[in-house]
Amino acid sequence: MVTRATEPEIGEVDFGLPSGDPFARRLFPSLPGSVKWGVGRTERLLAALQDPHRSYPVLHVGGTNGKGSVARIWAEILRAAGFRTGLYTSPHLVSYRERLLVNGRPLPDDLLEEWSRDLRPLLLREAPSFYEAGTVLALLAMARAQVDVGVVEVGLGGRLDATNVVDPVLIALTNVGLDHREFLGDDVATIAREKAGIMKPGASVFTTCRDRRALKVLGEEAIERGAVLRRVRVPDAEITMDGLRMRIDTERWGPLELASRLIGRHQVANIALAVRSLEALPPRLPVSAAAVREGVLRSRVPGRLQVENVSGRPWILDIAHNLDAVRAVAETLDEISPPRPRVGLVGILNDKDWQGMLQALVGTLDRFVLTSPAGAPAGRQWDPAAGAAVLPPGVASVVPDFEAAVREAEDAAGGSGSVVVLGSSYTVGSALRSLGRVPPEALPVHFESG
């Protein structure tokens, strides 16, 4: 049993600095990429800044998979309702700019760099990690950008995550799966207790978690923490390569017919969780049925079953960095049936269950091109040749160079097949750069344009 997650402060976990992202290094040039667990440093930094995160209401979302999608759906619905909305998520695909958006756009580079310089005397005193400093900068920036509401995604875990300094008006927990076991615990119940750490007294907490062991823990933690836990039922939906359609029954808005460009049964759950939880918003944040429909329709989540047509060929990209996420991708591919042959361009980090992830794709994918994600920390690079050894003979090619792997996958798909890119945010980000499909949020914004 892993015990470190029960300690007040866990040691550092080296996830590496965002490689190949000069903007991130300009913001925090001298901080380590490791994660220092615990909220103490973050609280002290924010206190020295007069607690800017207390100046606006916050929605907080955690869970193993889907929390970034719920965060983006929340943000789009709130924007459609007329609120100036801040959004803080992680990780990014191409640029650190993607992590902090205000009304769907990154803040100007020069403005964020100025505000990061304001933090440096405090950072020297507290010596936080890169992630902690980025969380403080995001919460400060939302206040200085005068948002009406902020949406914040948990980075990892919950109880000891740097974002757990907020006092949210609404909380969502997507699911609980066996990911980051070496940090959070090696069973679902232990991990659920860490995720439940974001519950606050009096808060409404919504979840689509279906694991009975995890639900039992979440219920116990809600009672102990004085929160109200509500389970959201996931409706049926029609799913295609172009998106999905669903009907959801709500108490506030009645039955809603919703259309979304998001793909997959798991996104049905994320939409249901986002919509049903917003019914519990306080009166100062009114949201109409029209805003819900508009926000769901225009929500997009880069790197989550993102479909790009490149020279007539579908490329389907999903960061799918753990077994549950890979199973969701496989289920979706089987349902929407992109053209065969389906070639997987796969790059996984070595601290993941890469054996199980690869085996879950057998049958769904016809060929595998195994590669090393560009930009991943050296200590987390996997061995693609070891990956090939767990697959059936003859279905996998090992191409360590990423650009060569992109070409190999395209060739293997022939004139009519599909390429599926998955395994980590590093893999998907590298593919988006290679394909010329960099997310708009990753592009620099300057004062004169923003």
Predicted confidence (pLDDT) at residue 328 exceeds the cutoff of 60: yes
User: What's the CATH architecture for 306-435?
Assistant: Alpha-Beta Complex (3.90)
pLDDT at 19: 53
The mean per-residue pLDDT over the stretch 108-134 comes to: 93
pLDDT digits (tens, 9 = 90+) for 213-225: 999 999 999 999 9
Burial class, 105, CB count within 10 angstroms (exposed 0-12 / middle 13-18 / buried 19+): middle
Kindly provide the residue ranges of all beta strands, DSSP E only, lying in 364-435, ordered along the sequence.
367-370, 396-398, 418-422
Instruction: Give the pLDDT confidence of 54-72 residue by residue, as tens digits.
Output: 999 999 999 989 999 999 9
Cis, bond preceding 341 (omega within 30 deg of 0): yes
Determine the pLDDT at residue 3. Answer: 33
Contact 319, 422 (CB under 8 A): yes
Helix axes of 40-48 and 109-126: crossing angle, nearest 10 degrees: 120
Between residues 379 and 314, the one the model is more confident about: 314
Lowest mean pLDDT among 206-210, 229-233, 297-301, 371-375: 371-375
For residues 176 and 52, the model is more confident at 52
State which CATH number among 3.40.1190.10, 3.30.300.30, 3.20.20.70, 3.40.50.1820 fits the domain covering 4-298.
Answer: 3.40.1190.10
Convert 278-302 to b/e letters by CB count within 10 Å (16 or more is b).
bbbbeeebebeeebbbbbbeebbbb
Angle between helices 188-195 and 212-225 (to 10 degrees): 40
Contacting residues for 432 by C-beta, under 8 A, at least 6 apart: 93, 94, 302, 303, 317, 438, 439
Tokens 């590298």 belong to residue: 430
What span, in angstroms and rounded, lies between the C-alpha atoms of 46 and 32?
Answer: 19
Exposure string over 198-229, b if 16+ CB within 10 A, otherwise e = bbbeebbbbbbbebeebbebbeebbeebebeb
d(CA 48, CA 96) in angstroms, rounded, equals 25
Q: pTM of the prediction?
A: 0.93
* Per-residue confidence (pLDDT) for residue 11, from 0 to 100: 44
Under DSSP, is residue 160 helix (H, G, I), strand (E, B) or coil?
Answer: coil
Q: What is the pLDDT of residue 380?
A: 84
Query: What is the rounded distance in angstroms from the CA atom of residue 104 to the CA atom of residue 113?
Result: 19
pLDDT digit string, tens, across residues 28-39:
887 765 667 789
Q: What is the largest CA-CA distance in the chain?
A: 61
Indicate the domain borders of the chain. Answer: 4-298, 306-435
The confidence band for 376, taking pLDDT boundaries of 50, 70 and 90, is confident
What integer pLDDT is reported at residue 347 of this predicted model?
97
CA distance 410 to 430: 15
Q: How many CB atoms are located within 10 Å of the residue 133 CB?
A: 24
